[in-house]
């Protein structure tokens, strides 16, 4: 994740297709979370591991 001009851009390396662009870092983290959740709900096979559990990690 990083800043490109006025935009924050980020992606989830382990799950292709999960990338977002937002005006602030906080909005970007929210968008990435929502996008990843939706991707895994639509296609659980996109998960990088077969048996995974969710853990909240705060930066």
Q: Where are the domains of the chain?
A: 2-46
How far apart are alpha carbons 50 and 53 in whole angstroms? Answer: 10
Find out whether 18 and 35 touch, Cβ atoms under 8 Å: yes
Query: How far is the CA of 24 from the CAs of 17, 19, 34, 44, 58, in angstroms?
Result: 20, 15, 15, 29, 17
Which of the two residues, 15 and 28, has the higher pLDDT score? 28
Q: Does residue 50 have a pLDDT over 90?
A: no
Tokens at 46, concatenated:
């996109």
Tokens at 25, concatenated:
């870092």
Mean pLDDT over the full length of the chain:
84
Statement: the pTM of the whole predicted model exceeds 0.85: no
């Amino acid at each position: 994740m990083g800043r490109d001009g006025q935009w924050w851009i980020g992606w989830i390396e382990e799950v292709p297709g999960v990338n977002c662009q937002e005006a602030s870092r906080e909005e970007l983290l929210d968008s990435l979370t929502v996008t990843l959740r939706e991707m895994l709900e639509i296609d659980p096979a996109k998960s990088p591991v077969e048996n995974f559990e969710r853990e909240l990690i705060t930066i």
